[in-house]
Structure 1
Amino acid sequence: MTDDEVPAAGDENGPETDEDAAAGDDPTVEDDASSGLASEGDAAEPTVALDEFHDALEDAGRPVVTASEVGRTLDRDQSEAVGALEGLVDRGDVRRVDVETDPVVWYPTEWGEIADRERVVPFPKRREIVVDQPSQFTRAQLSQFAHLADVSGNEAYRYEIRKEDVWQAPYDSFDRLLKTVRQVLPERLDGLEEWIEDQWDRARQFRLFTHEDGYTVLEARSAELMGNVARQKLDESQLRAPISDTESWVAEGSEAAIKRTLYEAGYPVQDQRDLDEGDPLDVSLDLDLRGYQSDWVTRFVDSGSGVLVGPPGSGKTVAAMGIMAAIGGETLILVPTRELASQWRDTLLAHTDLDPEDIGEYHGGEKNVRPVTIATYQTAGMDRHRQLFDERRWGLIVYDEVHHVPADVHRRSADLQTSARLGLSATPIREDDREKEIYTLIGPPIGTDWDALFDAGYVQEPEVEIRYVPWDQETYQDEYATAERHEKRQLAASNPAKVEEVREILADHPGSKALIFADYIDQGDELAEALTVPFVSGEMPHARRERLFSQFRRNERDVLLVSRVGDEGIDLPDADLAIMASGLGGSRRQGSQRAGRTMRPSGKARVFVLATRGTTEEEFARRQLQHLQSKGVRVREVDSELDDGA
């Protein structure tokens, strides 16, 4: 597959996969060479035996598989797997299903009944959808317009369709959104479709635009909306005076507050202002964008604002540099930590024609404002530094790790003047449920279906397992029963039985590059001593930490143990095995970020989350992985094989 063949979410034509290229529209293949058949007179043998295909099904844990999954099991590249599968199709042993905007899936002919085990049950009055044993296609499509609210075991998924899910659906027309809804639901539900269309329309009732005389105007679709909603919800400090029955003059600097207020009233505002283009900046990339990255750039430039939402390893930073080149204006890049600022500087110097004197850093350790300036959120929001950023004519502001923006200490950065705002995040979610403010303050989501990137091989789909570990009875079980709430969480997280479980997982995956995550310092020290590996925490000097990471990248070390300091803001190396020995109380962002360390294109991606059986850690572990599940990643739940008295 070429880069250009990977579409954005909601593309009417769907992604063209390597299977499509091999098979075309015909479910059989006429060319023996391309189908993986070996000629032997009139009888041809496929290059993969049926029992090997069954092994791939067993590894996947479901009755249908994609070619990439078969390739991983049999150590073949995707094109070889496609050809081999077509050989089995030609024999009649295997069938294939082409699903619009989803990878081709394959299943044994005699398993036709099993392939239909997925059940989608809508509850339109509650706007809920329960799916039993959902396919990757169904999970990926539902993620476009619904919220994964709950997962029961490995099979039952409960989705809610919230108004903000419809407002933020990544489509440019209601017809395309409706097409996705109808692909997933087993029948047409007129009442639900009418509600979705109503929410779609509500997100298009108000807009901000620039008057020819230079000031900002708020426009409503009707006089009733302007009078009964906008002028009732907004005060004179925000709307200075009426211009007409449907238009009002906006007070300078109150645009963000207006957008927040109307959003909370149920009416997202389309921001179509002609903002100052900023001082020009000529930037060129020295690398080629993938097809979906080019699509992100085009969609962003068309809208002037948005949040790139893609899985870890999909190249959001690269796409951001492509947007910088397309905008051609001086750029402010906001990051949560100084270390991320240094990483951005190094990346810009490595992949653009910018000179070192073109790039400045502005934070506690360095204070230089240049045509491209990288600053921390905290510094940019301080009153004593604010004027420097306000005075600059920015063409683009990039909000890296944009999920930080709704926090009170960071949200002032959203008021900085610029002609374009770009957010970046693999996990635009917050446990305080303020993620909707990300899109209000910065712009709508722009992304590509994760399953399309998995199938294309750009990002590795992780194999994720929650493993329930028994208590170390002798030391901890009695203590847990009498402990207070926070102490209970720490005791469960630090269950000593997890040490042996980590050993078992490492032994089962020899040669893997493994990152082990521990949230508690005492647990990290215990694991480090037991495994004889270094424990990277906030207490470790920066120079030693970087030396260990460098050794891990060069394959001089196979295992590193990392505290919460590795979740965000440092250049943590990639791995092919991640073990979460403990986690931050069910944080979905933390779970996705840690799993994301394995999701680069090469190698295998395996993720294990350890949870102490019979404690709140069970629910925390499931919640941690909800964001991944909502993107189509399958999560298995198993019991440890350790004895109860381990």
Structure 2
Amino acid sequence: MTRSGTDPEIAPGDDETAAIESFRDALESVERPIVTASDVATHLAVSQSTANDLLERLVAADEVSRVDVGNDPVVFYARRWADSTRRERVVPFPDRHEIVVDHPDQFTRAQLSQFARLDTTNGNAGYVYEVRREDVWAAPHDSFSRLRSTVREVLGGEEPTFEEWMESQWNRARQFTLRTHEDGYTVLEAESDSLMGNVAREELGDEHLHAPIDDDTSWVVEGAEAEIKRLLYDTGYPVRDERDLDEGDDLDVSIHLELRPYQRDWVDRFLDAGSGVLVGPAGSGKTVAALGVVAALELETLVLVPSRELAGQWHEELLRHTDLAPADVGEYHGGTKDVRPVTIATYQIASMDRHRGLFDSRRWGLIVYDEAHQVPAPVNRLTTDLQGRHRLGLTASPVREDDLERDIYTLIGPPIGTDWDALFEAGFVEEPAVEIRYVPWRDEAAKSEYGDASRHRQRQLAATNPAKIDAVRDALAERPDANALVFVEYLDQGDALAEALDVPFISGETPHAERASLFQAFRRGDLETLIVSRVGDEGIDLPNAELGIVASGLGGSRRQGTQRAGRTMRPSGNAEVVVLATQGSREEDFALQQMHHLASKGVPVTERTLAD
């Protein structure tokens, strides 16, 4: 409604809630996170003086901050809403393809997850969802009208600009299709001869397409399907893969577990799409959901994993949670080579030419890619040529420093995920507290050596700062009853910590049998502390880890930071991650960079400088 300067909603004596609502209405109207007094006056149809009074009241109440930008008008932005109002509020920003939501309920989150991705949260009540073209392409709807209905339900009405852009993206995802010709070879079909000539033929070469069959259909070079999908995806045209691949041999299997609601949603969305990548935090039960997919399809399955330890864990999970007999499950890697109706193999083995014939000869109905962010690597991507009717990827973080995360979805399938913050709130996954601790140098001599060293040497010196030994000991002493993992990058540092703390150190040099025995002792509670190198970053299931201490490795990827913190993300316990960064070194920036992804997911990240 139109308001005046005497409107009781913004009268000087009124409560702060009405004033905040007025301010929020002004933010929504200008579609910016900041406003001027003139913006507020125009939106509320009040005088400049009345608008200034309103804003000054909110500044005095610590609800709004003001910034004087010199000769430009003073701008105002919101500080917090949680103490002022608890109602859900959805504000779309069509030009930025973003939706800002305060206090979203579970239903709203579920609806948003169908066409948007949680980008950031302020850790309090505000959430920023990004609608990417990839999210629209992969939306689990059979028509755009159904997707539009979901969008309108979330936004509370029509949003023409948003809807027009989403419809254009929806249509782009339905312009090219790979099909099996009646003579058995693969063809690429376009929705028009213009698309085939101006897009496909421009982007693809003779190594991808033979001569055209007709104006909108081309014969595909055998083995070029994955590259065609990647190249057209990069151009903005995802390809539907409707080839008549072998269904795979039947497998009689059922699961003993009751899936959580979001896990059931993952399974249903995968079955609708036929392929996809489950994206969720460690501890959210992606493996259990994958078992649900295996039971739903009832087809022979190949599971690809990065390590023998993870192969063993999959073997145990399959026998524990399904009615498969031991004779139905095999492992194929450097330790054993046993192909069964359900086979777990390492990426390394499955990529080797001398083993590929064996895997190709089996009629796999499902191929599971665990730690799917590894698939785009040059060697691992060879496994995507293996024939399987359905492809399922699992990853906690698809982020790659080489920007090849898009290849995960072109090689396997579209992302299928759940709002991390919703899992924290519902209690399915423990929300860890992360603290970055800045550790001083041991002495001036160590600090000087760092200053005189090369860039590479500086990284090593900061990572292995001897003062971190006491910092690790202090962190462990603060949680004497916690099961703790200490992560290191350098073997010498791992050995030094193991000697100082009198605890085992597991690295890539540790024999597999000894490694498995130590991990099992940690799971049983016989060992309270383990020091691990990168072998602990991915896939190892240590559900009783309550404390993670990152002693070094901050020069690694954002994904690595997420994985290490993820070792403590489980449904129960008091999870905590302590990140040690040498004060005055580049580790300070690396620590913030690694933890930014977690912070954007709603995980609280704090900082503290340790005393000299």
TM-score bracket for this pair, using the shorter chain length: 0.7 to 0.9
**TM-score for the superposition, normalised by structure 2:** 0.76
Residues 308-323 of structure 1 mapped to structure 2, 5 A cutoff: 308-323=278-293
Whole-angstrom CA distance in 2 between matches of 1:609 and 1:285: 39
Q: Which runs of 5+ in 2 are unaligned?
A: 1-79
Q: Quick check: 1:478 aligned with 2:448? A: yes
SS for the counterpart of 1:568 is coil
Residues 78-477 of structure 1 mapped to structure 2, 5 A cutoff: 112-113=83-84, 124=95, 127=96, 145=116, 163-164=133-134, 167=137, 194-212=164-182, 214-477=184-447
- AA aligned opposite 1:349: L
- AA aligned opposite 1:257: E
Deviates more, 1:290-299 or 1:437-446: 290-299
Structure 1 residues 263 and 479: alpha-carbon distance in aligned structure 2, compared to 1, 3 A threshold: same
Question: Given that residues 154 and 636 in structure 1 are in contact (C-alpha distance below 8 angstroms), is that contact kept between their aligned partners in structure 2?
Answer: no
Structure 1 residues 386 and 546: alpha-carbon distance in aligned structure 2, compared to 1, 3 A threshold: closer
| 1:596 alignment partner, one of 566, 581, 585 | 566
CA-to-aligned-CA distance 1:274-296 (integer Å, 9 cap, x gap): 32111211112222222222222
Q: CA deviation at 1:494?
A: 1.8
- AA aligned opposite 1:481: G
| 1:550 alignment partner, one of 520, 529, 545 | 520
Whole-angstrom CA distance in 2 between matches of 1:151 and 1:362: 42
Question: Given that residues 309 and 516 in structure 2 are in contact (C-alpha distance below 8 angstroms), is that contact kept between their aligned partners in structure 1?
Answer: no
CA-to-aligned-CA distance 1:213-264 (integer Å, 9 cap, x gap): 5443322222211111112222344333434433333344322121122112
Whole-angstrom CA distance in 2 between matches of 1:376 and 1:519: 23
Q: CA deviation at 1:206?
A: 1.5
Structure 1 residues 113 and 372: alpha-carbon distance in aligned structure 2, compared to 1, 3 A threshold: closer
SS for the counterpart of 1:471 is coil
Q: Partner of 2:483 in structure 1?
A: 513
Q: CA deviation at 1:554?
A: 2.5
Q: Partner of 1:633 in structure 2?
A: 602
- AA aligned opposite 2:597: H
- AA aligned opposite 1:370: R
Q: CA deviation at 1:438?
A: 0.6
Deviates more, 1:466-475 or 1:192-201: 192-201
SS for the counterpart of 2:229 is helix
Question: Given that residues 147 and 162 in structure 1 are in contact (C-alpha distance below 8 angstroms), is that contact kept between their aligned partners in structure 2?
Answer: no
Larger radius of gyration: 2
Whole-angstrom CA distance in 1 between matches of 2:128 and 2:342: 45
Q: CA deviation at 1:301?
A: 1.8
**TM-score for the superposition, normalised by structure 1:** 0.73
Whole-angstrom CA distance in 1 between matches of 2:90 and 2:593: 23
Structure 1 residues 258 and 359: alpha-carbon distance in aligned structure 2, compared to 1, 3 A threshold: same
Whole-angstrom CA distance in 2 between matches of 1:154 and 1:485: 39
SS for the counterpart of 2:607 is strand
Q: CA deviation at 1:404?
A: 1.3
Q: Quick check: 1:609 aligned with 2:573? A: no
Question: Given that residues 153 and 637 in structure 1 are in contact (C-alpha distance below 8 angstroms), is that contact kept between their aligned partners in structure 2?
Answer: no
CA-to-aligned-CA distance 1:549-598 (integer Å, 9 cap, x gap): 33322323322222222112545453111111112514122111111111
CA-to-aligned-CA distance 1:478-533 (integer Å, 9 cap, x gap): 11111111111111222233233223322332322211111122222332333332
Whole-angstrom CA distance in 2 between matches of 1:331 and 1:489: 43
Whole-angstrom CA distance in 2 between matches of 1:111 and 1:256: 48
Whole-angstrom CA distance in 2 between matches of 1:487 and 1:382: 36
CA-to-aligned-CA distance 1:536-560 (integer Å, 9 cap, x gap): 2233344443333333223233222
- AA aligned opposite 1:294: R
SS for the counterpart of 2:435 is strand
| 1:528 alignment partner, one of 466, 473, 498 | 498
- AA aligned opposite 2:578: F
Q: Partner of 1:61 in structure 2?
A: none
Structure 1 residues 195 and 494: alpha-carbon distance in aligned structure 2, compared to 1, 3 A threshold: farther
Q: CA deviation at 1:413?
A: 0.9
Whole-angstrom CA distance in 1 between matches of 2:290 and 2:238: 25
- Higher RCO, 1 or 2 (CA under 8 Å, sep at least 6)? 1
Q: Which runs of 5+ in 1 are unaligned?
A: 1-108
Question: Given that residues 304 and 370 in structure 2 are in contact (C-alpha distance below 8 angstroms), is that contact kept between their aligned partners in structure 1?
Answer: yes
Structure 1 residues 162 and 621: alpha-carbon distance in aligned structure 2, compared to 1, 3 A threshold: farther
SS for the counterpart of 2:498 is helix
| 2:549 alignment partner, one of 555, 576, 579 | 579
CA-to-aligned-CA distance 1:316-336 (integer Å, 9 cap, x gap): 112212211221221111111
CA-to-aligned-CA distance 1:36-60 (integer Å, 9 cap, x gap): xxxxxxxxxxxxxxxxxxxxxxxxx
Question: Given that residues 154 and 635 in structure 1 are in contact (C-alpha distance below 8 angstroms), is that contact kept between their aligned partners in structure 2?
Answer: no
Structure 1 residues 562 and 111: alpha-carbon distance in aligned structure 2, compared to 1, 3 A threshold: closer
- AA aligned opposite 1:208: L
Residues 42-81 of structure 1 mapped to structure 2, 5 A cutoff: none
Q: Partner of 2:49 in structure 1?
A: none
- AA aligned opposite 2:359: F
Structure 1 residues 480 and 134: alpha-carbon distance in aligned structure 2, compared to 1, 3 A threshold: farther
Whole-angstrom CA distance in 1 between matches of 2:446 and 2:546: 32
- AA aligned opposite 1:495: N
Whole-angstrom CA distance in 1 between matches of 2:81 and 2:560: 41
Whole-angstrom CA distance in 1 between matches of 2:151 and 2:105: 15
Count of residues in correspondence between the two structures: 531
Whole-angstrom CA distance in 1 between matches of 2:348 and 2:266: 28
Q: CA deviation at 1:407?
A: 0.7
Whole-angstrom CA distance in 1 between matches of 2:298 and 2:122: 49
Q: CA deviation at 1:399?
A: 1.1
CA-to-aligned-CA distance 1:426-463 (integer Å, 9 cap, x gap): 12222111111010011011122222222222211112
Deviates more, 1:204-213 or 1:516-525: 204-213
Question: Given that residues 154 and 637 in structure 1 are in contact (C-alpha distance below 8 angstroms), is that contact kept between their aligned partners in structure 2?
Answer: no
